[in-house]
Amino acid sequence: MPHLGPTDSSRTPRFAGPASFARLPRLDEVGTADIVVAGVPFDAGVSYRPGARFGPAHVRESSRLLRPYHPALDVSPFEVAQVADAGDVAVNPFNIEEALETVEESALALTASGARLLTIGGDHTISLPLLRAAKQRHGEIALLHFDAHLDTWDTYFGADYTHGTPFRRAVEEGLLDTEALCHLGTRGPLYSKKDLEDDRRFGFGIVTAADIYHQGVVEVVDRVRQRIGDRPLYVSIDIDVLDPAHAPGTGTPEAGGMTSRELLEILRGLQGLNLVGADVVEVSPPYDHAEITGIAASHVAYDLVALLALRHEAEASIATDPEGPPA
Ligand SMILES: [Mn+2]
């Protein structure tokens, strides 16, 4: 059975009709999918600018121009896998802990069939329940965390669950494989040097935005691949990892970030790794201009879907042919 792909843009113009991600079918139109895209419109965990609750709708609207063939990865992700948009998880905007439970339960339900999940946030708080679900499915998880910030702080105003604390909680809860953790793109001022010491103690390696500039994408990809190996990998992308010139519409912007080209090239370098799930978070449309941030986020999400589809295709071909895919 061929997979149901996006709406045909030669018959229905791209700007017409409802905005699902990449104009893909809804999950209820296809029943089950190999890759599920879901939104989590939640921003009750932010410390500065709000607005990420409108992120999923904005990224979908900004994804109308995505086309079905990915030339850099040589894959038609919507052909090799059934990809579908599951809509938004309805989370409580007034109770963070209840919201986290809802996200975890939804992630488990959406992956019960074996589907891989790409989540569009929402603020970064949501990565914690997504990692809890991923741990239950795959065991301890390797993490590549693209962000201007460490997000391993302890508390804000006494609150444990915020968009600046998810990865400290994740380490404390034993969700992560502490041999295979890396931040990429960090920069900007910290509270004190202790922030870095704590972070190192949790097991994180750091590739700063300056490292990416000085070493270049190829060397960075090489370092990262050695660290991750074939462990089950989760990729979490805070859109503020991009310079504000490439992503103005976000909650806590910092100068001196990577370009969208650098981010996409690093992602393409992850081809073949055992990617089990991913998120793109912190898109805040009220601060966006001309869809700059939305377009960056939609392309980043498309590359993640392509990586998930390639992994799905490789595993499906091993399942049907024990000799494995042709080299
Ligand atoms: Mn973050």
In Å, what is the CA distance from 161 to each residue of 46, 123, 150, 169, 283? 10, 11, 15, 8, 19
Look at residue 3 in the predicted model and tell me its pLDDT: 94
Buried/exposed code over 174-209 (b: 16+ C-beta within 10 A; e: otherwise): ebbbeebbbbbbbbeeeeeeebeebbeebebebbbb
Q: Which architecture characterizes domain 21-317 according to CATH?
A: 3-Layer(aba) Sandwich (3.40)
DSSP 252: S
Total-model pTM: 0.97
List the chain residues with pLDDT less than 70: 322-327
Q: How far apart are CA 298 and CA 296, in angstroms?
A: 6
Distance in Å, CA 163 to ligand 1 centroid: 6
Distance in Å, CA 280 to ligand 1 centroid: 10
Whether residue 282 contacts residue 52, with contact meaning beta carbons closer than 8 Å, is answered with yes
Q: How far apart are CA 240 and CA 91, in angstroms?
A: 23
Distance in Å, CA 237 to ligand 1 centroid: 8
Distance in Å, CA 55 to ligand 1 centroid: 14
Q: Where are the domains of the chain?
A: 21-317
**Taking the CB of residue 244, how many other CB atoms lie within 10 A of it?**
18
Look at residue 322 in the predicted model and tell me its pLDDT: 62
